[in-house]
């Protein structure tokens, strides 16, 4: 059972440390708010929010960092390391990397103008990680709406959570390799938008070329993502699936017309995602370095 006051006595400086390092990191690179948010999502979807995603490969296991979708894509590990170093200096062997990630993700959203929420804490860190688990549990840009709904349902998240959480794509960037099939192959896309994206994402080559997930405000956490979907300007196939004549159209329209509705549902869904099978006793540990088991 997680609690928002878990470290109140044992590490009162924790929230301030996380906030100041995140403020510094986002000031230097506004994309970092997005990158840390994605790290938290990719942690929680693979064996729960247990910082498994932060583990480097070892002789005994190949971890999640090189899984499909993570390799050459996840970023921000050094920001988590910087937070962890300061937290260890302030309160040795007390705060889990999983909780640091949960707080940092929230702060990244807030720093870019999004909603805030209280973060339940008390998670422990995994002592192993598996590339296979990551490959099996993370969504792909090619996913259909029904794939996405069932993947999220498997984590205890409903379709409303899926549509609200996908609003995370109001910030951050994607590589050409991930949106090429949508801009060349799909019909449910605004032609002008497809032409614009093709300019920097050729049919062959340029796999790593970046484009903003939200073409309007890539470093503001707002509801423009949903406005894009209604206009046929979702960047990924999976984004546009949320507004393609299906069950989520009306919710996309609601979030497009109400920032408050989006922010309220996003914050609630983030807490729900943060509760995916939290590790609370053995075999969890309080890792001293987020990159390796003790
Ligand atoms: C619904 C299924 C989802 C799919 C298929 C998906 C897929 C992707 C893909 C393909 C990228 C681009 C990666 C790259 O090209 O390097 C991306 C980026 C991102 N995703 Fe998702 N995602 C999903 C849901 C989520 C959720 C639930 C969150 C967080 C709550 C999230 C947060 C992000 C962020 C912030 C970025 C940008 C990261 C950066 O700029 O470093 N995504 N996602
Ligand atoms: Ca995990
Ligand atoms: Ca935005």
Q: Which residues, 6+ apart, have CB-to-CB distance to 95 below 8 Å?
A: 7, 11, 14, 87, 286
State the distance from the centre of ligand 1 to the C-alpha of 239, rounded, in angstroms: 10
Question: Could you tell me if the CB of 174 is within 6 A of ligand 1?
Answer: yes
- b/e map 35-63, b = 16+ CB within 10 Å: bbbbbbbbbbbbbbbbbbbbbeeeeeeeb
Look at the pTM and tell me if it is higher than 0.90.
Answer: yes
- Please answer whether residues 204 and 260 qualify as being in contact, where contact means their C-beta atoms are separated by less than 8 angstroms: no
* Rg (the chain; Cα; Å): 19
For residue range 193-222, what is the model confidence (pLDDT) as tens digits?
Answer: 999 999 999 999 999 999 999 999 999 999
Mutate to test the pocket of ligand 1, among 174, 217, 222, 235 (most ligand atoms within 8 A of CB): 174
pLDDT in tens, 134-170: 999 999 999 999 999 999 999 999 999 999 999 999 9
Q: Residues 291, 85: contact at Cβ < 8 Å?
A: no
Residue 212 sits at φ, ψ, to 5 deg, of -70, 140
Residue 279 has pLDDT above 90, yes or no: no
Indicate whether residue 73 lines ligand 1 (CB < 6 A): yes
Q: Is-catalytic flag, 182?
A: no
Label residue 276 by pLDDT band (50, 70, 90): very high
Return the ∠ at Cα 13 (arms to 8 and 18), rounded to 5°. 110
Nearest-ligand number for the alpha carbon of 39? 1
Q: Is the CB of 165 under 6 A from ligand 1?
A: yes
- Express each pLDDT in 46-93 by its tens digit: 999 999 999 999 999 999 999 999 999 999 999 999 999 999 999 999
> Would the pLDDT of 281 be above 90?
no
pLDDT at 35: 99
Q: Within 13 A of 200's CA, how many CA atoms are on the CB side?
A: 11
């Amino acid at each position: 059972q997680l609690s928002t006051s878990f470290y109140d006595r044992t590490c009162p400086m924790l929230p301030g440390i996380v906030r100041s390092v995140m403020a510094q990191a986002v000031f230097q690179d506004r994309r970092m708010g997005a990158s840390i948010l994605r790290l938290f999502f990719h942690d929680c979807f693979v064996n729960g929010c247990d910082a498994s995603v932060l583990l480097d490969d070892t002789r005994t296991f190949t971890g999640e960092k090189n899984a499909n979708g993570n390799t050459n894509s996840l970023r921000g590990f050094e920001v988590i390391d910087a937070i962890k170093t300061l937290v260890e200096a302030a309160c040795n062997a007390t705060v889990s990397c999983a909780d640091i990630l949960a707080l940092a993700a929230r702060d990244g959203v807030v720093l870019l103008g999004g909603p805030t929420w209280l973060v339940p804490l008390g998670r422990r860190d995994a002592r192993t990680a598996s590339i296979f688990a990551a490959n099996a549990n993370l969504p792909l840009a090619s996913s259909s709406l029904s794939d996405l709904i069932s993947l999220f349902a498997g984590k205890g998240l409903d379709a409303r959570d899926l549509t609200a959480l996908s609003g995370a794509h109001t910030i951050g960037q994607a590589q050409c390799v991930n949106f090429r099939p949508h801009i060349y192959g799909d019909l449910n896309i605004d032609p002008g938008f497809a032409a614009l994206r093709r300019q920097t994402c050729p049919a062959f080559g340029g796999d790593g070329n970046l484009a903003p997930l939200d073409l309007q405000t890539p470093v503001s956490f707002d509801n423009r993502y949903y406005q894009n979907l209604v206009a046929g300007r979702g960047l990924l196939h999976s984004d546009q699936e949320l507004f393609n004549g299906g069950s989520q159209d009306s919710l996309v329209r609601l979030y497009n017309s109400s920032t408050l509705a989006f922010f309220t549902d996003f914050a609630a869904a983030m807490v729900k995602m943060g509760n995916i099978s939290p590790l609370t006793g053995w075999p969890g540990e309080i890792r001293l370095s987020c990159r390796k088991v003790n």
